[in-house]
Each structure stands twice: as C-alpha cells, then as structure tokens.
Amino acid sequence: MNFTKMHGIGNDYVYVDGFKQTLKDPNAFSEFISDRHFGIGSDGLVIILPSEIADFRMRMFNADGSEGKMCGNATRCIGKFVYETGYTDKKNISLETLSGIKYLTLTVEDGKVVYVEVDMGKAILSPQDIPVISDQETFINTPISIDNEIYYGTCVSMGNPHVVVYCEDVDLLSLESIGPKFEFNPLFPERINTEFVQIIDDSTVKMRVWERGSGETWACGTGACAVAVSCVLNGYCKINEEITVKLRGGDLKITYKEDGTVLMKGPATKVFDGTIEYEEA
C-alpha cells in the first residue's frame, strides 16, 4: 500500500490516494498503521477520493479504527496533496466530508501549498445536534461532574462534538488521566473531544486536546474552531476578529463570524511518501 505521511501543526495522518488504491477494511488498516511502534505511526488514516458533489471527498479514521466525520487539519493537508500531485490546478477547492462540504483556499508559493484557509461552515450549538444530553437551548459554561469535581464546559460541534473547559495552566494537566473521563462520560452519547484552554489575552489562547479515539494529539483543527467559538460565547474574545489558538504543534488562526461561520487558517506539511506491506483479511 502506497501512502503519504502529512501533518497539520503536528496532527499527523497517513494519507492514501483513493483514486489509485482501494481498502476493503479501512478501519482495521487505520488501527494498524497508526501504531507508533508496529505501524507507521499517526493519529489516524485519511483516504482521498473522487466526489459526485464536490471536487474531492475525504474519509478519516481515528487511531482506534473508528471513523470520524471531520478533521480540520486533514482538510488542509488534502488541499496540499491534490494540488501538488496535479489532481487540480485550482486554488479554491470544495471537499466533501461526512459533516458537509468544506471550502478550501490555497496559498501557493513556488508551486507548493504553504497555507490553507478552510471555511468550516457554521458552528452547531444545539445540544441535541452536538450531541450532549441536556434540555438547555445551548450548553455554555455549564457544570459537568467528573470524579466528584465540577468543571464548567461549553459544547460546540464543528461536524464533530467538542467540549471546551477553561483552566489556569494547560501545561500542568494530566490529560491521560482526565481526558478519557470526559470522552466516555455518559453526558456525551457519541463520546467527545475535549479542549482544555488557557486564556492569554483577548485574541490569543492556548489549548491542549484529548481527541476521542486517538488520545492527546498535538493539534486539532475542529477543536481550535470550537475553542474560538467558545471564547466568543464566554466573553473572552471578540466576534469577527482573528483569534490565535496556540497548540502543542503550532498556531492556528480562527475567526468566528457574526453569521455563525468559522474560518480556519493554518499550514500543511508533507513529511514523506512510503510503501507498507499489508495483507487485508
């Protein structure tokens, strides 16, 4: 199986060209290649495919083999992949995902894609659509009980579910301990991605993320978008203004617009091409 290893500020995936290769069981393949000791090592698998309703289509799988609806960092890498491999010469690309069509704008220098802005669509705030079990109209700064301790969370969906929790110093957190307790909390029927956020100023925040199915990752694009939305809703940042979200792997620039749309800007990096021996069952 031929593949390309790419990352968006450290959120690394194995990318398979679905125009040329077919996987019968992508769930098992994702679990196999994601292992950092026995496989390639990644946060999961992304398959790039043709689409009947957009320029391209993506499927993404977490490290545990479960399929996700969206990955913001992967959308940027796909933009780089399809442009640099010659599948398109357009700098404005539509991409079909399980959470709808996303629109990419490529910044190209010397034939290489160095930066991608993604129109991530509108943030979803209704608890039943996120989903989170709640009879409120929104889930903003709402108490959540974890191990008899109360945390205050804001829930946002960017095509996949997120809960944003504020703290004084994200570097002091033991994510391996607290992350799974949010992910598998019965409050979240489809599990949850959890962002722990430290406010730097009214246009800069710092976050760490525990992703459902993958654990702590160095970056999460949809998570950064959810954080920006939450920061505006909680009065930490301003609507229509660019917010710098600092992640372990680098920075993303997020704008939460007045119409509810979220824009994400960030780099995409190719690491290497390779071939791995894999026999499907």
List, by residue number, the catalytic residues: 71, 220
How many residues can be counted in the chain? 281
d(CA 174, CA 200): 20
Write phi, then psi, for 70 (nearest 5 degrees): -155, 155
Q: How far is CA 261 from CA 59, 115, 221, 264, in A?
A: 23, 20, 15, 10
Cβ contacts of 92 within 8 Å, gap of 6 or more: 103, 104, 105, 106
Consecutive H or E run containing 257:
none
